[in-house]
């Protein structure tokens, strides 16, 4: 029984194919179209999924969309009715598009399926899952838990912005919901926009900026007090109440009323190209702390009303790995699971899994979901394909047919300070590069963070990099014992590796702070001694584990920088062509494409 899950028309469109509960393939549309966060119907992703499974539409029993467009349209209409006559301009402008996209959605969906051109889909049953159920299903059914609380937090689905579920066996039951417009996800996006970053893209930048803030500063205390007093009420049961006087997303234009925010916080809205100052860092820290407090309240409420020892997280806010780390640190639950692709892309898989498990009395397929088995679900490219591409491009390359030699060669180059593009096996599903489409380097050079940010990623120099390591090395270097195969948790490096900060640290500029060595591994230690962790084991990440092992044999540790193989404003690379193009327009030193090694100097 094949089920095809689809998410589309908002951001990060994706497709996922499952067979009898087993995920066979999944991919985001952006990886094929090269448009970051591509919201369009995932024609290329669906083609890939069907081709990988070696089936046509005639073999698919059900096609499941990740939310219910008609209910979403109902929310849009009711919202505009409630605020009328405000927002009438946006309403008139967009109503024809909304009617086409929401009321006649099945027609739109079928038109998209026709473009896929992989057989006839008219006998496929088309179903619609609820948005937050799709999130919940992705998190729970890909976990190893037989029972769990599930917490889903995002901007908004149909009406719901936050949900608490109880899951046992195959059943998922919703216990509590928060409804639009009161949304932790939209609040965080509002903070993001105020700091000059793009909504649905720059939230992780704000999270990375927050540690440069100072809890002791007058600015931080002022911003925190204003947020709590004027902007949002946080309740002990996890619910929140936004003061809608300060927000404009009801009108369909912007997230916030910039003039009111500027009056409230006494700093102008930052433009994207303006320099980042200490006041922006302090504001980001206040916003992050409020978000973490809200997430912890929700987790405590989920524990209280479910009584479960396990927690699964999903929804866009679950990408906030700092909040996830706090959740783990507080020990509210014994076990916390954060899958890859926790946003709308993963909901394509969640919709398919929800349909299969909630409508069939079948045993859970869990052995396939061990650690990274739900990461590497995208395309792989054969040796013949890669070689043909390189020959056609007339590229000078070295072929290393021995896997052992390949890993040893890469490790020796890393020890010498090289920055390497690494493309091996099937592409990752989700926002994190986990060793299949990665840029890697040794974290021990004092300048490596600045080098990779400025010369290779072409992004802000304050942005931290995540460490990747052998699973067994985690407890030797970091204050955490929970494995983190999906780079979803943040913790601090152990005290013995930390370096004392200068006495005038808080008086330094953000650039100067970023250049201070915080640990023996400066490339992966953020300004507050924190790191976003990725752990690797031999069974589930066989193309990356031997490299880390070879590096450890040369250096005594397996710690490497691992960042996504892309540059600013582009998706992670998918094909050899994408990887070569990215390699050539950056200052990476080497590129490993399967068993082929390319040297920039050549």
pLDDT at site 354: 97
Q: Average per-residue pLDDT in the chain?
A: 93
- Residue 167 burial (10 A CB sphere; 0-12, 13-18, 19+): buried
Is residue 160 within a helix (H) or strand (E), and if so which, with residue range? strand 160-168
Is residue 178 within a helix (H) or strand (E), and if so which, with residue range? strand 171-179
Look up residue 520 and give its DSSP letter. S
- Whether the pLDDT of residue 372 is over 70: the answer is no
- Tell me: do 214 and 111 sit in the same domain: no
- Closest by Cα among 31, 38, 59 to 118: 59
Number of domains in the chain: 3
pLDDT at site 583: 97
- Tell me: do 185 and 334 sit in the same domain: yes
The pair of structure tokens assigned to 224 is 């925190």
pLDDT grade for 122, boundaries at 50, 70 and 90 = confident
pLDDT grade for 363, boundaries at 50, 70 and 90 = confident
Q: How many CA atoms lie within 13 A of 172 on its CB side?
A: 32
pLDDT grade for 244, boundaries at 50, 70 and 90 = very high
Torsion, CA 405, CA 439, CA 531, CA 430, rounded to 10: -110
pLDDT digits (tens, 9 = 90+) for 447-471: 898 889 888 888 887 888 999 999 9
Q: Distance of CA 119 to CAs 56, 70, 76, 115, 122, Å?
A: 5, 28, 35, 10, 9
Angle at 533 between CA 528 and CA 534, to 5 degrees: 160
The pair of structure tokens assigned to 547 is 């490299």
- Tell me: do 122 and 148 sit in the same domain: no
Within-domain flag for 374? no
N- to C-terminal Cα separation, the chain: 50
Mean pLDDT value across residues 385-391: 98
State the pTM of this model.
0.95
Within-domain flag for 386? yes
Cis peptide before 181 (omega within 30 of 0): yes
pLDDT digits (tens, 9 = 90+) for 427-454: 999 999 999 999 999 999 888 988 898 8
- Tell me: do 360 and 313 sit in the same domain: no
- CATH code (residue 79): 3.30.420.40
pLDDT at site 369: 57
Say which residue the tokens 């890993």 belong to.
407
Is the sign of the CA dihedral 432, 316, 330, 205 positive or negative?
positive
φ, ψ for residue 177 (rounded to 5)?
-140, 150
Mean pLDDT value across residues 520-543: 94
Within-domain flag for 139? no
Round to whole Å and give the CA distance between 14 and 31.
10
Cβ(101)–Cβ(8) below 8 Å: no
Q: How many CB atoms lie within 10 A of CB 303?
A: 17
pLDDT at site 79: 79
- The angle that helices 184-194 and 278-306 make with each other, rounded to 10 degrees, is 170
- Tell me: do 214 and 362 sit in the same domain: no
pLDDT at site 43: 97
Within-domain flag for 482? yes
- Tell me: do 104 and 14 sit in the same domain: yes
Within-domain flag for 508? yes
- Whether the pLDDT of residue 324 is over 60: the answer is yes
Within-domain flag for 138? no
User: How long, in residues, is the chain?
Assistant: 602
pLDDT digits (tens, 9 = 90+) for 36-67: 999 999 999 999 999 999 999 999 999 999 99
- Tell me: do 334 and 354 sit in the same domain: no
Q: What 3-state class would DSSP assign to 142? A: coil
- CATH code (residue 422): 3.90.870.20
Is residue 174 within a helix (H) or strand (E), and if so which, with residue range? strand 171-179
Show the beta-strand stretches assigned E in 44-91.
60-65
pLDDT at site 434: 96
pLDDT grade for 377, boundaries at 50, 70 and 90 = very high
pLDDT digits (tens, 9 = 90+) for 276-318: 999 999 999 999 999 999 999 999 999 999 999 999 999 999 9
Look up residue 319 and give its DSSP letter. G
- Tell me: do 82 and 192 sit in the same domain: no
The pair of structure tokens assigned to 160 is 């719901």
The pair of structure tokens assigned to 180 is 């639009």
pLDDT at site 161: 98
Which domain, by its residues, includes 80? 2-133+346-369
**Per mean pLDDT, which range of 198-207, 209-218, 554-563 is the poorest?**
198-207
- Closest by Cα among 589, 592, 203, 593 to 431: 203
The residue ranking higher by pLDDT, 67 or 82, is 67
Round to whole Å and give the CA distance between 258 and 269.
6
The pair of structure tokens assigned to 89 is 């301009």
- Closest by Cα among 469, 495, 465 to 483: 469
pLDDT at site 94: 65
pLDDT grade for 88, boundaries at 50, 70 and 90 = confident
pLDDT grade for 106, boundaries at 50, 70 and 90 = confident
- Whether the pLDDT of residue 370 is over 60: the answer is no
Angle at 205 between CA 201 and CA 207, to 5 degrees: 115
Pairing state of beta strands 232-234 and 240-242? antiparallel
Q: Distance of CA 452 to CAs 290, 449, 523, 574, Å?
A: 31, 5, 9, 20
- Whether the pLDDT of residue 193 is over 90: the answer is yes
- Closest by Cα among 580, 11, 112, 9 to 343: 11
pLDDT at site 540: 86
Cβ(529)–Cβ(493) below 8 Å: yes
- Tell me: do 12 and 119 sit in the same domain: yes
Q: Distance of CA 432 to CAs 37, 468, 538, Å?
A: 13, 12, 19
- Whether the pLDDT of residue 371 is over 60: the answer is no
Mean pLDDT value across residues 252-268: 92
- Tell me: do 351 and 416 sit in the same domain: no
């Amino acid at each position: 029984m094949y089920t095809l899950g689809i998410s589309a028309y908002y951001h990060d469109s994706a497709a996922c194919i499952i067979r009898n509960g087993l995920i066979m393939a999944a991919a985001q549309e952006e990886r094929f179209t090269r448009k970051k966060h591509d919201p369009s119907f995932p024609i290329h992703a669906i083609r890939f999924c069907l081709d990988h499974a070696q089936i046509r539409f005639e073999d698919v029993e059900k096609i499941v969309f990740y939310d219910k467009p008609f209910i979403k349209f109902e929310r849009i209409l009711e919202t505009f009715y409630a605020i009328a006559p405000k927002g009438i301009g946006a309403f008139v402008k967009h109503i024809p598009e909304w009617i086409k996209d929401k009321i006649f959605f099945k027609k739109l969906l079928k038109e998209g399926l026709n473009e896929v051109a992989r057989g006839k889909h008219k006998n496929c049953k088309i179903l619609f899952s609820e948005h937050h159920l799709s999130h919940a299903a992705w998190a729970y059914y890909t976990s190893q838990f037989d029972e769990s609380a599930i917490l889903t937090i995002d901007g908004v689905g149909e009406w719901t912005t936050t949900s608490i579920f109880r899951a046992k066996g195959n059943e998922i039951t919703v216990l509590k919901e928060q409804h639009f417009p009161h949304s932790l996800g939209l609040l965080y996006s509002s903070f993001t926009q105020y700091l000059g970053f793009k909504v649905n893209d720059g939230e992780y930048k704000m999270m990375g900026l927050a540690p440069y803030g100072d809890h002791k500063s007058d600015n931080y205390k002022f911003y925190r007090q204003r947020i709590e007093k004027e902007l949002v009420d946080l309740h002990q049961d996890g619910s929140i109440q936004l003061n809608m006087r300060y927000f404009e997303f009801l009108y369909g234009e912007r997230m916030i009323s910039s003039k009111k925010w500027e009056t409230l916080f006494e700093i102008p809205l930052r433009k994207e190209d303006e320099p980042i100052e200490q006041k922006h860092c302090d504001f980001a820290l206040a916003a992050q702390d409020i978000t973490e407090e809200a997430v912890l309240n929700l987790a405590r409420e989920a524990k209280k009303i479910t009584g479960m020892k396990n927690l699964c997280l999903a929804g866009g806010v679950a990408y906030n790995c700092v909040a996830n780390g706090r959740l783990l640190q507080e020990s509210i639950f014994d076990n916390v699971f954060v899958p890859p692709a926790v946003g709308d892309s993963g909901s394509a898989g969640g919709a398919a899994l929800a349909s299969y498990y909630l409508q069939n009395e079948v045993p859970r397929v869990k052995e396939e979901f061990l650690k990274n088995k739900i990461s590497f679900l995208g395309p792989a490219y054969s040796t013949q394909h890669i070689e043909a591409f390189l020959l056609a491009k007339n590229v000078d390359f070295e072929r290393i047919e021995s896997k052992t030699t390949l890993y040893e060669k890469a490790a020796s180059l890393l020890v010498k300070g090289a920055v390497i593009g690494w493309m091996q096996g099937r592409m990752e599903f989700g926002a994190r590069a986990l060793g299949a489409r990665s840029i890697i380097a040794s974290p021990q050079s004092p300048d490596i963070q600045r080098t990779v940010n400025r010369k290779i990623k072409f992004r802000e120099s304050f942005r931290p990099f995540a460490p990747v390591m052998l699973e067994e090395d985690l407890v030797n270097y970091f204050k955490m014992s929970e494995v983190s195969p999906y780079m979803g948790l943040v913790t601090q490096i152990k005290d013995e590796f930390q370096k004392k900060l200068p006495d005038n640290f808080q008086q330094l500029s953000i650039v100067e702070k970023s250049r201070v060595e915080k640990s023996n591994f400066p490339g992966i230690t953020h300004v507050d001694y924190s790191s976003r962790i990725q752990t690797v084991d031999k069974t589930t990440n066989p193309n990356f584990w031997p490299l880390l092992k070879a590096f450890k044999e040369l250096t005594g540790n397996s710690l490497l920088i691992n960042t996504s193989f892309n540059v600013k404003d582009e998706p992670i690379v998918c094909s050899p062509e994408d990887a070569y193009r990215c390699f050539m327009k950056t200052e990476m030193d080497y590129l490993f494409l399967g068993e082929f090694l390319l040297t920039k100097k050549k």
